[in-house]
Amino acid sequence: MKADERQRAEDHGRNETMSIGDGKRRADIRPGSTVDIVLKADQPTGRLTRGVVKDILTHSSTHPHGIKVRLSDGQVGRVQRIVEPSEPR
pLDDT at 31: 97
What whole-number distance in Å separates Cα of residue 55 and Cα of residue 57?
A: 6
Closest CA to 52 of 81, 38, 72, 77: 72
pTM summary value = 0.76
Sequence-ordered list of residues with C-beta below 8 angstroms from that of 57, at least 6 positions apart, any chain: 67, 68, 69, 70, 76
Domain boundaries, the chain: 19-84
Kind and range of the H or E element at 6? helix 3-16
> φ, ψ for residue 81 (rounded to 5)?
-155, 135
What is the second-level CATH architecture of the domain 19-84?
Answer: Roll (2.30)
- Determine the pLDDT at residue 20: 78
Confidence of residue 88 (pLDDT cuts 50, 70, 90): low
**For 31-87, how does the pLDDT look when each residue is reduced to its tens digit (9 = 90+)?**
999 999 999 999 999 999 999 999 999 999 999 999 999 999 999 999 999 998 777
